Structure 1
């Protein structure tokens, strides 16, 4: 390699978007690094592009407090040195000549500039890290979507459908860093264990449930189906959990009452969307700041991290209109996605590590003979039974003796709460309107 770096070719940087830009926009030349004749970009031009990315998407790391072995607090800066940041951005070695040349250009300040009060654009001694982009535009579209389905047109809402098309684009092909799919196919042979329960207040008579748990614990018939998180009035759905403890906690029973729970199994294969996987799926996909769509993609990633909490947040009896937008999401997944989704999985807010499941009506409702599709099994000429079956002998009764709460103390200075718990629960809570 020649002394100094004047130009860099597309093969001497690792970022695919920078490579493509060099091939499309730059002339042929002899690379200062590999000395091959290729499309090359002047190092000053590449440094300017790196500086633009740093200005737009990076900042100096914040001071954070740590605790050492002796429980003495100390303060450190978060982030990476400028050379490491530039190298990671371009996909090259932090000790390469290209990195050194760019850092030199970013941190240089002539004596003339210094005498006039100027300063270098960046400081090699500071630590840098990517800023968290708040998805302001997406949050506004989310609020518009909620308002549209709650106060205007729930059905045939073109704006709402366009938003959901964009939000769930490619949903069947997404995986997290552990290889788990967002939409998972559960087959009958998997033996999926599902639990559903009924709360019996002290004044109630549980005899009807005891005599017929297969019907009393199952999804209600459409004639008496009430509105739920994923289903409107008159549309049956199966709301359950993957363990009895979560099932009981989600009912929020009163002390002194009783809960009856039973185990169910699938009679048909089911595709389930796991919001827990969706929340983290984009962490497995490195994103380039040089991508022209970087900001939109990053904002979508940030928004999807919060969607899980939006879906699983509890709704009080006086806020049942909040179910409307989750009902529309369920209807969209069940009818507009190909192949259709049969249900969703989401975290329990009543029990740590508990997972809830909601199976849509297509899976749990009986299907009249004349409405069957070629994919439905043929069982006589009568209606096809529900796709969820109660397992005989699994009924259990649980007396509610006490209810415990996880309590976290807040720091108080006079009459001021220093840490606002509302923003901790929803990082974009200040945008709700």
Structure 2
């Protein structure tokens, strides 16, 4: 059909929701409340669209989610076709427009033919036809589905990074809005293998402990740490907290790993040094953003949903964001290149919805290793229970007939137990109050954070770094010599 009357007749035909297999589009039609009419394809009287309405929805979906492929080979394909020894046969990419529409909307072939006729007539161009140019939805055109374009997200991210490095170091309203659009509601997104983007960690969960390591170059410092590992193997104080991938200088956070070997590798110890590593139990439930799962995030939305395009573009950006945030950074570049991830961590810790306590991310030192950073609010280590007056001594060796032998151990010398029950009236300033509560009233703890971690002293190990092995990719270097000729003038 090509005449105006024929097209008008096609436009007036109706297709009911039962004849459309694409769930979103079918449900959209089913919700219509403008009276039922007989379907031109099954004869049933159900809520329906006219073919004109259906064609408009398909045209809009194809504009955003499909490309019309070229009807001519590329120069490279032409060269293959011209090669007498080549068996290459050119085939146009994509599907015939009729098949593409039928599969996208999941409609009967007859309905797809009517849609192609309507859209083909709409885009018909006599001059283009005379010049042999193909128009949109021409009956012999081909279409292929295109992936979402996250260019706008990438450009905004680059602008965000550039602003932090050259304009404003501190958090801005613009940066906050940008990060909210990226991370807001991220726990609602799905992944291809159904792994969650926001993971719970804590008692009786898959991640119930973390390993943390510290490198030592002096035995006296190591022995001090072995005596009180809760203080010296845990996060540093604010005064000693250096800037890291996920924290600014002065902000104390807990960097750990899910495996002991990863924790050791992350501190990058020099040969000859010693590394103390210990396991810290997570004693309350935390919510962690898993950057390692971002590359598997997906959006199962319909191409007929007007909001799906923006969501798919966001998902495409998120699939690359995890790698962006955890790419290896040279030591000389850390001051600048860590700015963006530091701001993100601060935002996730204080502003984001859902509320998060940390991030899981890939190790830059171990190929399959996973690191975990717990934000400041979730980085407090519970103090070890030691009776008041306990004296601690750490030893690194034992003398034997053959000389000193490596033997790391800690002795705890506690006061002798009193001969009578603790005084409740004579020796207490406030009779009837437990002595521990009285001690807390005398020496209040200035840190009001709830304890999140508890060190397990039985897991402490000291690693002596004897040598380091690097996994490298070697590339040869070629050298060429040629004779230099002066140009003739």
TM-score range, shorter chain: 0.7 to 0.9
Deviation at 1:24, TM superposition (A): 6.3
After TM superposition, the structure 1 = structure 2 runs for residues 345-356 of structure 1, keeping only pairs within 5 Å, are 345-356=360-371
Cα deviation per residue 1:401-425 (whole Å; 9 max; x = unaligned)? 232224276999x9xxxxxxxxxxx
Q: CA RMSD in A?
A: 4.3
Rounded Cα–Cα distance in structure 2 between residues aligned with 1:250 and 1:207: 22
Report the CA distance shift for 1:27/1:173 in structure 2 as closer, same or farther (over 3 A).
same
Distance in 2, matches of 1:118 and 1:12, equals 34
For 2:129 and 2:212, the matched residues in 1 are separated by 72
Alignment partners' CA distance in 1, 2:153 and 2:128? 42
1:58 paired residue among 66, 70, 74: 66
Corresponding residue for residue 20 of structure 1? 28
Distance between the aligned counterparts of 2:217 and 2:141, measured in 1? 62
Q: Distance in 2 between matches of 1:125 and 1:142?
A: 41
Change (3 A) 1:79 1:347: farther
> Is 1:202–1:256's contact at 8 Å kept on the other side of the alignment?
no
Counterpart residue number, 2:471? 405
Of 348, 354, 357, 1:333 maps to 348
Among candidates 100, 107, 110, match of residue 97 of structure 1: 110
In the alignment, is the contact (CA less than 8 A) between 1:258 and 1:400 conserved in 2?
Answer: no
Return the alpha-carbon distance in structure 2 between the equivalents of residues 185 and 217 of structure 1: 24
Please say if residues 185 and 354 of structure 2, whose CA atoms lie closer than 8 Å, have aligned partners that are also in contact: no
- Given candidates 247, 259, 268, the residue that maps to 1:243 is 259
- What secondary structure is seen at the aligned counterpart in 2 of 1:188? coil
1:163 aligns with 2:178: yes
Match of 1:188 in 2: 203
Structure 1 stretches lacking a partner, 5+ long: 64-72, 368-378, 415-433
The match for 2:320 among 306, 312, 316 is 306
> Following the alignment from structure 1 to structure 2, what is the Cα–Cα distance between the partners of residues 146 and 323?
10
The within-5 A match list for 1:155-234 is 155=170, 157-190=172-205, 192-200=208-216, 206-234=222-250
The 3 A distance-change label for structure 1 pair 116 and 325 is closer
> Which stretch of structure 1 is more off in the superposition, 314-323 or 96-105?
96-105
2:94 and 2:216 map into 1 onto residues whose CA distance is 54
Aligned residues: 391
C-alpha separation between the residues in 1 aligned to 2:216 and 2:279? 18
Provide the C-alpha distance between the structure 2 equivalents of 1:81 and 1:410, rounded to a whole number of angstroms.
48
Q: For the residues of structure 2 that align with 1:118 and 1:48, how far apart are their CA atoms?
A: 23
Greater C-alpha Rg: 2
Residues 154 and 110 of structure 1: is their aligned pair in 2 closer, same or farther, counting only changes over 3 Å? closer
The Cα of 1:242 is off from its aligned counterpart by 0.5
1:280 to 2:293 alignment: no
Provide TM-score, normalisation by structure 1.
0.74
The match for 2:51 among 43, 62, 70 is 43
> Do 1:253 and 1:400's aligned partners in 2 also have CA atoms closer than 8 Å?
no
Distance in 2 (alpha carbons) for counterparts of 1:57 and 1:173: 23
1:232–1:113 CA distance, 2 compared to 1 (3 A): closer
Partner Cα distance (1:336, 1:293) in 2? 25
CA pair 399-113 structure 1, distance change in 2 beyond 3 A: closer
Matches within 5 A, 1:287-298: 287-298=301-312
Partner residue in 1 for 2:148 = 133
SS in structure 1 opposite 2:324? Answer: helix
- Aligned-partner Cα distance in 1 for 2:133–2:52: 19
Out of 388, 395, 401, the residue aligned to residue 460 of structure 2 is 395
Instruction: Give the deviation of 1:219 after TM superposition.
Output: 0.8
Structure 1 residue 317, shift from structure 2 partner:
2.7
Q: 1:254 to 1:123 in 2, by over 3 A?
A: farther
1:164 shift after superposition: 1.8
* SS of equivalent to 2:244: coil
For residues 87-140 of structure 1, the C-alpha deviation after alignment (integer angstroms, 9 at most, x for no partner) is 4422x26x6433454456677999998666354645888874322333222223
Given that 1:18 and 1:290 are in contact with CA atoms closer than 8 Å, whether structure 2 keeps it comes out as no
Quote the offset at 1:18 in angstroms. 6.8
Equivalent of residue 142 in structure 1, options 152, 157, 167:
157
Q: 1:410, 1:236 → 2: CA distance?
A: 44
Native 8 Å contact 2:381 2:454 kept in 1: no
Q: Distance in 1 between matches of 2:98 and 2:465?
A: 62
Query: Which SS does the other structure have where 2:43 is aligned?
Result: coil
Q: Structure 2: state its 5+ residue gaps.
A: 1-9, 75-86, 383-435, 481-489
Change over 3 Å in CA distance of 1:348–1:366 after alignment to 2: closer
Query: How many Å apart are 1:387 and its aligned residue?
Result: 1.8
Residue 34, structure 1, aligned to residue 42, structure 2: yes
Q: Give the corresponding residue for 1:431.
A: none
Task: Flag the 1:48–1:215 CA change in 2: closer, same or farther, 3 A.
Answer: same
Counterpart-to-counterpart distance in 1, 2:276 and 2:142: 57
Counterpart of 1:8?
15
1:155–1:110 CA distance, 2 compared to 1 (3 A): closer
TM-score (norm 2): 0.66
Distance 1:214 1:81, change over 3 A: farther
Q: How far is the alpha carbon of 1:286 from its aligned partner?
A: 1.5
Question: CA, structure 1 residues 88+360, in 2 after alignment: closer, same or farther (shift >3 Å)?
Answer: farther
